[in-house]
Structure formats: C-alpha cells, structure tokens
A and B are shown apart, each in its own frame.
Chain A
Amino acid sequence: MKPALPSSVFLEKRSYRRRRMMDAVRLLPVLGMLLLMLPLFWPSDPGAAGGDAIPMSTAVIYVFVVWLILICTAYALWRVLWFTRGAEASDADTSEDGDTG
C-alpha cells in the first residue's frame, strides 16, 4: 500500500513541469525573434569592412534551419502539454487559466 504523500509529490512535479513547459511556450517567439533577427548583423554590403558577404546558400540554409528548429520545438512543447493535459484531466486545466494573469 502506498502512502498518499508520494503520489501527491508526483502530481506536484507533473504540474510544475507543465508550468515550465508553458513558460517555454511563452518564450519561444522571443527566441525565434532573436534568431531571425540575427542576419541583421551579417555584413550585407560587399564593399564594406567586416568580412566577405555571406553566400546566399548559407543564408537560405540558416533561415530554414532556424525555422525548422522553431517548428520542432513548438511541436515538442505541444506534445508534452497535450499529453500531460490528458493525464491530469481537470486538475491542471483550472490552475493553468488562473496562472495567466
């Protein structure tokens, strides 16, 4: 027979994890903005100082890799949240909305 305590600790941990995942969801667009604005620092005028111009293929690869990373992170976060939501039923749902303020 299990005492009640470990089970509640387990739930606490789940809901804690869930909250941190929500934080990650909130911060993801900020990360995306930073990564996508990074090309601003690339040298864009071939004549100017600061090294050679970046080849277009590199730029294309960079943008699409960042794009892919963002999408995969968003997908992973959605998976985590979707399944913990299913597991916790109503318990975490209510606290989530209260957490929004």
Chain B
Amino acid sequence: MSVNSLVAVSLAYVAFLFAIAFFAERAAARGQGGWMRSPWVYTLSLSIYCTAWTFYGAVGYAARSGMEFVTIYLGPTLVMLGWWWVLRKLVRIGRAQRATSIADLISARYGKSNLLAIVVTLMAVIGVTPYIALQLQSVTLSLGAFAGPPGSSTLGNPASAFWVAGGLALFTVLFGTRKLDANERHSGVVMAIAVEAVVKLVALIAVGIFVVWGIAGGVQPMLAQIDASPIGTWEMDRSRWVALTALSAAAFLCLPRMFQVLVVENDDERHLQIAAWAFPVYLMLMSLFVVPIAVVGLDLMPAGSNPDLFVLTIPLAEGREGLAGLSFLGGFSSATSMVIVATLALATMVSNHVVMPVWLNAQGRNGALVSGDVRNVVLVARRASILMILGLGYLYYRFSGGGAALAAIGLISFTGVAQFLPALLGGIFWRGASRWGALCGLSIGFVVWVYASLLPSFGPDGAMSARLLAEGPWGIGWLRPQALFGIEGLDPTVHAVVWSLTLNTTVFVIASLITFPTPLERLQGAQFVNVFELSGQPREWHAAMATSEDLMIMAQRILGADEARALFREEADRQGNFGHLPEPSQAFLQRLERELAGSVGAATAHAMISQLVGGASVSVEDLMAVADESAQILEYSSQLEAKSAELARTAGALRTANDKLTALSVQKDAFLSQISHELRTPMTSIRSFSEILRDTDGIGQMEKTKYASIIHGEAIRLTRLLDDLLDLSVLENGQVNLNVETGKLEDVLEKAVVTAQASGSGTLTIKRRRLNEAVTLSTDLDRLAQVFINLMTNAGKYCDADKPRLDVSVETRDGAVCVVFFDNGTPIAPEQRDLIFEKFARIDGTPGAGAGLGLAICREIMTRLGGDITLDHTETGNRFVVVLPQQAALAAQ
C-alpha cells in the first residue's frame, strides 16, 4: 500500500466522519436523535481515553516492561467501578453547575474565581502538550512505517510531523468550531467519536486475532510463546504498579478531555451506571491482545525495530496490506479523536477563562452592551487556541527529539493533569477547601511536576543541563530534579508523582485550614459538597433591574441574531406575551444564562448577566444555607440570650413595680390609720366635753365657757386638718388652679413674716438679709407665701434652742434662686430627713399638735410651681432650701 493511497484512505475516512457528524447533528436538530443519547454512545465516547498511546504505545510498553502497561487501564476501571463514590457526584455537580470544563468546575467551586480558572487552564494546556505531541509522533511514525525503512523517504521523519500537526489543526477547526456551543452536547462530534471508538477497537482486535490465530496458531501455543519470550516472567517494579494505577485513575478524572466526555457531554446520570461496567469491558478488550502482539512482534521483527509500531509492522511484514490499512485507520482514529476532544476542551477553557474575560474587560464597564457580534471573537479565540495547542504539541515533539517511548511521554502528561486531583476531590468532599488552598496546592504541584518531570523529559542538556540533573542546582544535592530531598533510587515517574501530589495535597490542606473563604466560596462549597441534599437550585437573579431590550442586544451578540430572536420569541410565547419581548423573569434569566454559558462559559455568562442585572447578590437565604450548623446554633443561642435578657429586664421592672405597689399599699394603710387617729383625737375630746356639758348639772359659767372653748378649739383643729387634707388632695390630683401674678420676693417674704409672727408664739426671732431679696417673680405668690409661712411657723413650733432664731436669706444655686431658712434648733436625724416631706410625718419625740401635713403640702406646692423644697445636710440647725421656679425668676430678671 503506497503512502499516496494511505493519504487518500485517510481523507476518505475524514470525509466519512464529517458525514456522520453532519447527519447526527441534523437528526438531533430534527429531534430524531434519541438513539444518539443512548448509554452506549456515552460509553463509546469515553473511549477517547484510549488514544494512540493505547493503540500503538501499549504494545511498545508491553514489549519493554511486560504487564505494567495494564495499570494504565486498571486505574480507570477502578474509577468506573467506583462510580458511586466520585463520578456520580462529579456528574451531578457538573450538571447542576453547568460546568463547561474542569477549569470551569474548579473555579465555580472556589467562588467563581477567574484567577483559579486561568491557573487551571494554563496548567491543563501545558500538561496536555506532551500528550498532543504523543499523537503527532504516533501518526508520523505510522506514516513512516508505510514509507519503508527509516531514511528512505521524507515521510516519517520529524519534518512531516509539521504537516500532520497542520492537518490535525485544520481538521479540528473544521470539525469542532463550526458551531459555537460547548455546553450543549456536540451531538455530531460525540457521534463521530463513537464511530472512531468502534473503528479502533475493531482494528486492534483484528490485529490481535490475526496474531493469535494467524501467526501463533491458537491460544495454547500463544501462551507458550508468551512464556518463552523475553518478557516471559513476571518482572514488576512494585512501586510503579501501585503508582501508575493510582496515577491513571487520577488522570482519568482530571484530563480535560475526559471531563468533557464524562461530565459535560453526559446526558443522563443513569448512563453512568451502564458505563460503569461497559467501559471496563471496552478497556479490557483494548488490552486483551496487547501482550500477544508484543510477544509476536519481539519474535518476528528484527532487533532494534520500534515496538511502538508492532501493530502496524506485523501485518505489513506478513504481507497483510488490508489489515495494515485497517490498523493504520485505527491508530489514526485514536489520534484524531483524542486531538479533537482535547483541543476542543482546552480551546473552550482558553477562550472562556482567558480570552473572554480579557476582551470583556477591554470593552470597559458596559462591555456586555457594546454592539457587535461576540461570537466572532469567541470563534476566533477558539480557533487560535486550537492552533496554539497543536503548535505547542509540535514544538514539544521537536524539542523532545521525537524518539521517546510513547508511554513515557503519556505518563508525563498524566502526572501534570493529576495535579488537579486534590483541588477537585477536596472541592466536592470537603467544605473547608478554600480558594487559596487550591491555588497554592495547584501551584506547588505544578512547579514540582515541571521541575521533576517535564523539563528532564527533554533529556540531558535539553531544557536542563546534564550537570543540573546529576548534581542539582548550584550543587545542592537534595534539589536534584529526580532525587528530591535526597531520596534516591526511586523510579523517576514514581518520584515525580509521589512528590508533586504529596506536596500539592499538603499545601492545599494547610492553606485551606489557615485561610478564610469568601461568602460566595462558602455558598458554592455547600452546594458542591451537599449536592445530593440541596435541591440544586442555582443562584437567583433579581430580575427587576434588567430590560428585555438590553438582554436581547447581548443575546444577539453571543448567540447570533436568529437564535436569539427564536429564543426570545419562544420565551414570550411561553409567558403568553405573544409578539412582544418576554418579561425578564427569573426563570428566563436563568435560562438565558444557561444558553450564554454554553457559548462563553459559566463564569463569563454570569459576569455578563450580572453587568446588566446589577449583580446577583448572595441573598440572605443563601447565606443562611452557607452558615454551617454551628453558626446556626450560635445565632439561635444569641437569640435565646437576647430573649432571656429581655425577660430578665421585664421581671426586674415587674419586681420594682411590685415593690412600689407594696410600699404604696403600706403607705395607704399608714395614711388611713393616721388619718383616723388624727380625726379621732379631736372628735373624742369634742364628744367628751359636749357630753359633760349635756349631762352634768350645775356647771359653772366659767367651766361651761372653758369646755365650750375646748370644743371650739378642737373643731377648729379638725377643720384645719380637713382643710389641709383637702388642700393636699387637690394639689396631688393636679386640680389646683395656679393664680400666676408678678410681684417681688421681698414683699412675699414680708407678708409671710408678718403672718407667721402674728400666729406664732412670738419667741422666734426672724432675721432677714434683704440684700438679695430684690427679685421679681412671676408665679402664684399666695401659694409661695403659704410655703414660707409654713416653714416659719414650723421653726417657731419646733425650734428647741434657748433663743430660737431663723435666718432667711436668698441665694443663687446653679442659676436658680433659692430662699434658705436656717434655724438654730436640733438637726433632724438623717434617717428621718427623707420622711419629713411625707404626709403625717412627724419627728418622734417632738412636742406640738401638727397633723404632719405642712411640709407635704409645701412640697406639693413647690412641685406644682415648678420648683423644689429640700432639707440640706447640716451639723447644727436645720436648713430648708426653697428652690424657686427657674422660669419665674428668670423671666423677672
């Protein structure tokens, strides 16, 4: 078979794939594509895990290291069998969050951080580069195998890899970016991949059957030949067996293209349950004939031939051109399907997380509203990304020399992408995982990987000098790239895997423990970790802020005018708003965000909608959901605390009120007993003397007069008591009418002194200091005089000094005018000082017949007038201070 016919077959095959994709998409558009969403298509699409590495490299791997190749398929088998643990959750989260890529998912988990998305994208691009180079190398080698022995043709030498890369780029651009939508499943691409999966499986099995039954002559002879071959005994580096199984399991979860087919293209979660056993079947079938082919190849092929090409060269050597052609198509299918999906996934990540945010920023604040079609930007960005990724792969191929075993290259790539694992698993199982933890862990893991695995892969004096590899930088032994921290003797791959993932995980955990996540991060963390408990309701927009016109303009630019119009019309019809723009309801905004997310990624779509809507705030309910149990308990207990404090306050108030009521009741009882006593005493003497007058005969005139005057006196006393009581009652009830007039304090005092001395015993000397008495007052002067008279007569009655004396002076205290009555009698005891202004309060052991109402009345009057009366604390004598109403005095000045 000539190279020309090979190229023609390849082109025909590509055309066939295009046709399949075209019909699949047309069927899907017509709604007939139900069968395309079957679990079998899903399972077959997972087969892009098996790339040219598997098709060519596995045999080479087996020829070099025996059964070790199988670890690469045992890891994913275990992951699929354990679908319940990780994949089930990953798929549910991916669907709930509408993730478009692994970078999207990780950034969404850690608070929709675009920085994290950029880091993951860059790491993915660099990590997958060796893998793309592997595909280029394998296609180039396979073409070379047809061209004859090395050096006899230009085909198969590294230069032709350029044309292979260019052809793959063109193919991917044509195939993958005709339609702009990453989120809606690429039904055409998935269909084509499924067909390619069948082609490569059939091709490998065909070669295997030919080898076992055609060359070796059956199963038993084959087994015998295996045992007799150079790889005939079990020779296993145990650390590699474990590490590679774990690494392939990790890479299966973390590879961007695997995430694309496992999560993004997943149509129904139940498909996962079928793929859980169906995909291991596929992997097992792909691995089944690897060892026989390797053994027969080692036996048949001349020493020094490349074992990576046994799948091709055995049929060629046996003269089976047709089988070799099929085998070539199988390898071509493996390489192309991987390159398509991997570059599409990476290009989506690059355009969504790097190009679009930069472009939107460059457009300024109102980027979402500028006219023009964003779709072109996205498409150009994706195509440029595809070219860039394939270009990087080509460069890697050139600089690594193109001579390495395929499996060795693949393992470098696996180790690179496996760095996502701690952030990914931590993100879906541990709510405490924080953005800084993810960033730090990813960074350190990436650096260790580049240092210990990627750079040494260019060979001695490639990217690192041989001296650096042997002695470490600056001769520091424990920094040697393949013997970090002085641990020697490890296999380089195991060494890189162990150190990068250990440091990555450690730093991730420690940084998560010591940093504090933002509210959005905690919200997303709760939604990820508890995805099965939560209803999966995504964020809600506050719809009122956006206008349908703005949304329409934005949607047109991203979805295209026709698609946007169709979407809006459909939504308007659904809302019953025929012929108009739909209302920007929450449901509509969510649907629109979903549609936009399919084109530009969740983070960007979210940012664009929030530009128009004014930001989806994290609502109180969201925050409540974030607040973990202890926070809720804290809040509850603080509520309880507040309530109990309130109760305590109320109880205190009640107690005070109760005390007051008790005191009032006591006071009332005392008042009643006091008043009955006060009334009974004069009544008793009135009754006795009137009885004497009535019943006793022969009373003299003098005695009659005496008794009658006693009765009269008691009656007067009774009247005065009643007057006082009435007065007090009126004052206390506030029913008193104040007769406000203007006069001089001097005159009021003069009048009071005259009255007091007229009614008193006359022994009291009243001394006045007239100096300050010239104050004009505007108040009820009669009432004020009553207070003065009362104080003066009290002094006359109770002052027990030999020469009773009362000094009356006018002072100014704190701006208020005060009249001070200072006598020279015995001071009132301190404990009684508070009582003397109470009703019926009389100082114990004092003579006199007062009812004890005078001072109570004085205080009531002063309170009514707006002033006050107090008793100062003094060493000798008593010092009553009448504070005049301030306004009354001030107005007069």
Taking Cβ atoms with an 8 Å cutoff, the residues of A that contact B are 22, 25-26, 28-29, 32-33, 36-37, 39-40, 42-46, 53-61, 63-64, 67-68, 70-71, 74-75, 78, 81-82, 97, 100-101
B229:A56 contact, CB within 8 angstroms? yes
In this complex, what residue of A is CB-closest to B67?
A: A59
Are A64 and B288 within 8 A (Cβ)? yes
Q: Is the CB of B82 within 8 A of A29?
A: yes
Whether the Cβ atoms of A25 and B234 lie closer than 8 Å is no
**Which one of A26, A56, A63 has the highest number of Cβ atoms from chain B below 10 Å of its Cβ?**
A56
Q: Which of B66, B235, B245 has the most CB of A within 10 A?
A: B235
Q: Which stretch (B275-283, B375-383, B432-440, B453-461) binds chain A?
A: B275-283
11 chain-A/chain-B pairs, Cβ below 8 angstroms: A22-B84, A29-B78, A32-B77, A39-B234, A40-B242, A42-B234, A44-B234, A45-B235, A53-B233, A59-B66, A64-B284
**Chain B 276-333 residues near chain A, CB threshold 8 A:** 276-277, 280-281, 284, 287-288, 291
Q: Is B281's CB under 8 angstroms from A71's CB?
A: yes
Q: How far is the CA of A67 from the CA of B77 in the complex (A)?
A: 9
- Complex contact B81–A74 (CB within 8 A): yes
**B30 touches A (CB below 8 Å):** no
Main secondary structure of the interface of A (DSSP, over half): helix
How many angstroms from the CA of A40 to the CA of B242 in the assembled complex? Answer: 8
Q: Answer yes or no: B407 CB below 8 A from chain A CBs.
A: no
Is there contact, CB below 8 Å, between A44 and B238? yes
Interface residues of B (CB under 8 A from A): 66-67, 70, 74, 77-79, 81-82, 84-85, 223-224, 226-227, 229, 231-238, 241-242, 245, 273-274, 276-277, 280-281, 284, 287-288, 291, 532-533
A74 to B80, CA, bound (A): 10
Nearest CB on B from A43, distance (A): 8
Task: Give bound CA distance, A34 to B177, whole Å.
Answer: 44
Asked, given contacts A42-B234, A74-B276, whether A56 binds B67 with beta carbons under 8 Å apart, the answer is yes
Q: Are A55 and B77 in contact (CB under 8 A)?
A: no
Is there contact, CB below 8 Å, between B273 and A81?
yes
Residues of A contacting B66 in the complex (Cβ-Cβ under 8 angstroms): 56, 59
Asked if B233 and A74 make an inter-chain contact with CB atoms under 8 angstroms apart, the answer reads: no
Whether A28 contacts B82 in the complex (CB less than 8 A), given A44-B235, A53-B234, A56-B233, comes out as yes
Q: Is the CB of B77 within 8 A of A70?
A: yes
- CB-CB under 8 A for A70 and B280, given A59-B67, A59-B234: yes
| Top-6 shortest CB links A-B | A29-B82, A74-B277, A54-B234, A53-B233, A57-B223, A44-B236
Given A67-B284, A81-B273, is A40 in contact with B291 using a C-beta cutoff of 8 Å? Answer: no
Chain B: minimal CB distance from A30 (Å): 8
Q: Which of A28, A56, A59, A82 contacts B81 (CB 8 A)?
A: A28
Other contacts beyond A22-B84, A64-B288, A67-B284: 20, CB < 8 A: A26-B85, A28-B82, A36-B78, A39-B234, A39-B236, A39-B241, A40-B238, A40-B241, A40-B242, A42-B236, A53-B235, A55-B234, A57-B224, A59-B234, A63-B67, A67-B74, A71-B277, A74-B277, A78-B274, A78-B277
Nearest B residue to A66, CB-CB: B74
Residues of B within 8 A of A57 (CB): 223-224, 226-227
Contact A55 B273 (CB under 8 A): no
Residues on the B chain within 8 Å of A53, using CB: 233-235
CA distance A69 to B84 in the complex (A): 19
Shortest A82–chain B CB gap in Å is 7
Do residues B67 and A55 form an inter-chain contact, with CB atoms below 8 A?
no
In whole Å, how far is B454's beta carbon from the nearest beta carbon of chain A?
A: 29
Tell whether, in the assembled complex, residue B280 and residue A67 are in contact, meaning their CB atoms are under 8 Å apart. yes
Q: Which chain A residue lies CB-closest to B284?
A: A67
Report whether A75 and B277 are in contact in the complex, using a CB–CB cutoff of 8 Å.
yes
Chain A nearest Cβ from B847, distance in angstroms: 91
Q: Are B84 and A68 in contact (CB under 8 A)?
A: no
Please tell me which one of the listed residues A25, A40, A42, A74 contacts residue B280 in the complex, with CB atoms under 8 A apart.
A74
Cross-chain contact A46 with B233 (CB below 8 angstroms):
yes
Q: How far does the Cβ of A44 sit from chain B's closest Cβ, in whole Å?
A: 4
Bound-state Cα–Cα, A57 to B79, Å: 26
A-B contact count (CB 8 A): 107
Question: What is the minimal beta-carbon distance from B88 to any residue of chain A, in angstroms?
Answer: 9
Q: Within the assembled complex, what's the spacing in Å between the Cα atoms of A41 and B40?
A: 37
Q: A29-B78, A56-B67 are in contact. Are A101 and B234 (CB under 8 A)?
A: no
A25 CB, min distance to chain B CBs, angstroms:
5
Alpha-carbon distance between A45 and B748 when the two chains are bound, in angstroms: 128
Kindly state the separation between the CA atoms of A40 and B236 in the bound complex, as whole angstroms.
8
Cβ–Cβ < 8 Å partners of A100 in chain B: 532
Which of B81, B237, B281, B532 is most buried by chain A, counting CB atoms within 10 A of its CB? B81
Chain A residues whose CB sits within 8 angstroms of the CB of B82 once the complex forms = 26, 28-29
Interface contact A54-B245, CB-CB below 8 Å:
no
Q: Is the CB of A101 within 8 A of B74?
A: no
Q: Is the CB of A32 within 8 A of B81?
A: yes
A18 nearest CB across to chain B (Å):
13
Q: Considering the complex, give the chain A residue whose CB is closest to the CB of B283.
A: A67
Residues of A within 8 A of B280 (CB): 67, 70-71, 74
Instruction: Write out the residue numbers on chain B whose beta carbons fall within 8 Å of the beta carbon of A22.
Output: 84
In angstroms, Cα B276 to Cα A78, docked, is 9
In the complex the two chains form, is B84's CB within 8 Å of A55's CB? no
| Beta-carbon nearest neighbor of B74 in chain A | A36
- In the bound complex, CA of A34 to CA of B242 (Å): 11
Closest beta carbon of chain A to B777's beta carbon, Å: 85
| B533 contact set on A, CB distance < 8 A | 101
* Distance to closest chain A CB from B863 (angstroms): 72
Q: How far is the CA of A93 from the CA of B533 in the complex (A)?
A: 14
CA distance A101 to B530 in the complex (A): 9
**A74 contacts across to B, CB distance below 8 A:** 81, 276-277, 280
Per the bound structure, the CA–CA distance linking A40 and B238 in Å amounts to: 6
Query: Nearest Cβ in chain B — how far from A1, in angstroms?
Result: 38
Q: What's the minimum C-beta distance from A99 to chain B, rounded to whole angstroms?
A: 10
Q: Which residues of B contact A54 (CB under 8 A)?
A: 233-234
* Bound: A74/B276 CA distance, A: 7
Most buried by A among B227, B236, B274: B236
Residue of B nearest to A28 (CB): B81
Residues on B with C-beta less than 8 A from A81 are 273
Q: For residue B232, which residues in chain A have a CB less than 8 angstroms away from its CB?
A: 55-56
CA distance A28 to B327 in the complex (A): 35
Q: How far is the CA of A74 from the CA of B273 in the complex (A)?
A: 9
In the docked arrangement, what's the CA distance between A29 and B242, Å?
15
Query: A56 to B77, Cβ gap below 8 A?
Result: no
Could you say which residues of chain A place their CB within 8 Å of the CB of B85? 26, 29
For A33, what are the chain B residues with a Cβ–Cβ distance below 8 Å? 78
B804 shortest CB reach to chain A, Å:
94
Partner of B226, one of A25, A26, A56, A64: A56
Contacts of B242 in A (CB 8 A): 37, 40
Task: Give complex CA distance A46, B233 in Å.
Answer: 8
Known contacts A29-B82, A74-B280; decide if A60 and B67 are in contact (CB<8 Å): yes
Contacting residues, chain B, for A78 (C-beta < 8 A): 273-274, 276-277
Minimal beta-carbon separation of B240 from chain A (angstroms): 11
CA–CA, A28 and B533, complex, Å: 25
Chain A residues with CB below 8 A from B277, complex form = 71, 74-75, 78
Residue of A nearest to B88 (CB): A100
Chain B residues with CB under 8 Å of A64's CB are: 284, 287-288
